């Protein structure tokens, strides 16, 4: 798509500063600066630290992306920026930077939805999307199930987490098991050596009566509590906690719920393609179980490489490119951030 508009994507919703350049479905550059190490000693993201890190990283990250793509700033045709959901301070840095660039260059600005970007980025890897598909977004802050007709104009939220997101639950269980922050990768590695059936942990919102009320929603708070009780039991008895077995059984419970509910959604919505995105989609058990059960059900599974699962500029540029090619109007320069931006809203428009 050499004649497609060149779109600059800016991501700053949490602790990654991402800048990417996309032309059509061709990714020309993708550069990310992370402040994760600055938060590790606090055991979680500190919003003020994240905001300051974005301020320091944006300029160098933008320059690196332009150099990687071999283009000048003046070559950019449109700018897409994550306007929500996310941390307010972090979002403000990205949106303010995007406004300044759009105003200075005299080009359109598109404030787009960060979560939907996690689905959009897969098109850069696996090509155009089918006419209808489901998007499962699983990360530290989101566990959402989407029905998509067009990634820029037709996105319906079927379900979401009612409490902890999948990645958030992994971080909390990691702390319970004495593992470093962020817990997700460490729990995943520990689980590889454990017994998935060692503990019968609950599958939230999976009973028949729950499925009637919440067919597409997720809940991991009860599962986290069940893990805490098991850990406390070993501590009270003065016994060593079987970290690998707890991690494996917990991981199996989370992956089982995510896959089972998504398969159910495919059946009820007559959809045969699923795109999985978000930081937690890097989890090895989720990938393995999804591949196994979706193949058995005749469902096509699309998961981008791990580098595109965590927050990055490519996902924002990909969604921005889709928005531009769909002919949607630009966002006004006075748009505000929306830390709770609903998944029914793909782009920011005039109030």
In this predicted structure, what is the pLDDT of residue 48?
Answer: 82
Domains, the chain, ranges and CATH? 6-121+312-325 (3.30.420.40), 131-306 (3.30.420.40)
Cα distance between residue 330 and residue 320, in whole Å = 10
pLDDT in tens, 106-150: 999 999 999 999 999 999 999 999 999 999 999 878 899 999 999
Look at residue 36 in the predicted model and tell me its pLDDT: 61
Is the pLDDT assigned to residue 38 strictly greater than 90? no
Indicate whether 61 pLDDT > 60: yes
Give 110's contacts (C-beta < 8 A, 6+ positions apart). 78, 79, 80, 81, 320, 323, 324, 328, 330, 331, 347, 348
Phi, psi of 149 (to 5 degrees): -100, -45
Torsion sign across C-alpha atoms 40, 45, 49, 52: positive
What's the confidence (pLDDT) of residue 329? 96
What is the model's pLDDT at position 270?
Answer: 97
Confidence (pLDDT) at 195: 98
Q: Residue 46: which pLDDT band, with cuts at 50, 70 and 90?
A: confident
Average pLDDT over the chain reads 94
Q: Residue for token digits 């798509």? A: 1
pLDDT digit string, tens, across residues 172-219: 999 999 999 888 999 999 999 999 999 999 999 999 999 999 999 999
* Measured CA distances, 164 to 113, 141, 220, 277 (Å): 20, 8, 6, 17
Q: Tell me what pLDDT residue 298 has.
A: 98
Write the burial class of residue 252 (CB in 10 Å: 0-12 exposed, 13-18 middle, 19+ buried).
buried
CA distances from 33 to 14, 223, 278 (A): 11, 33, 17
* Tokens 């009780």 -> residue: 229
∠ CA 87-89-93, nearest 5°, is: 115
Residue 106 backbone class (left: φ over 0; alpha: ψ -120 to 50; beta: rest): left
User: What is the sign, positive or negative, of the torsion defined by CA atoms of 267, 272, 278, 279?
Assistant: positive
Task: Report angle CA 208, 212, 216 to the nearest 5 degrees.
Answer: 105
Map residue 124 onto helix, strand or coil. helix
What is the band of 284 on the pLDDT scale with cuts at 50, 70, 90?
very high
Q: What are phi and psi of 100, to 5 degrees?
A: -60, -45
């Amino acid at each position: 798509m050499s004649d497609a508009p060149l779109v600059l994507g800016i991501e700053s919703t949490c602790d990654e500063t991402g800048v990417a350049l996309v032309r059509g479905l061709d990714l020309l550059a993708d550069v990310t600066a992370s402040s994760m190490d600055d938060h590790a000693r606090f055991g979680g993201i500190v919003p003020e630290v994240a905001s300051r890190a974005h301020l320091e990283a944006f300029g160098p990250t933008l320059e690196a992306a332009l150099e990687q793509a071999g283009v000048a700033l003046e070559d950019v045709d449109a700018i897409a920026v994550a306007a929500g959901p996310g941390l307010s301070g972090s979002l403000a840095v990205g949106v303010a930077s995007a406004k300044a660039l759009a105003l200075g260059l005299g080009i359109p600005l598109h404030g787009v939805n960060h979560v939907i970007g996690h689905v959009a980025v897969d098109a850069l890897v696996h090509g155009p999307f089918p006419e209808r598909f489901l998007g499962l977004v699983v990360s530290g802050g989101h566990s959402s199930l989407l029905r998509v007709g067009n990634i820029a104009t037709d996105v319906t939220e079927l379900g979401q987490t009612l409490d902890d997101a999948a990645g958030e639950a992994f971080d909390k269980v990691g702390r319970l098991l004495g593992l470093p922050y962020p817990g997700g990768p460490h729990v995943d590695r520990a689980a590889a050596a454990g017994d998935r059936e060692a503990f019968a942990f609950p599958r939230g919102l999976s009973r028949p009566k729950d499925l009637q009320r919440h067919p597409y929603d997720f809940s991991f708070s009860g599962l986290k509590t069940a893990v805490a009780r098991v850990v406390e039991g070993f501590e009270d008895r003065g016994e060593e906690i079987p970290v690998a077995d707890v991690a494996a059984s917990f991981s199996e419970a989370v992956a089982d719920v995510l896959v089972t509910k998504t398969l159910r959604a495919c059946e009820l919505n007559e959809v045969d393609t699923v795109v999985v995105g978000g930081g937690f989609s890097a989890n090895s058990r989720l990938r393995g179980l999804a591949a196994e059960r979706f193949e058995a059900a005749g469902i096509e599974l699309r998961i981008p490489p791990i580098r595109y699962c965590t927050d990055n500029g490519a996902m924002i540029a990909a969604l921005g490119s889709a928005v531009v090619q769909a002919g949607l109007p630009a966002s006004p320069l006075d748009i505000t951030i929306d830390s709770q931006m609903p998944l029914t809203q793909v782009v920011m428009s005039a109030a």
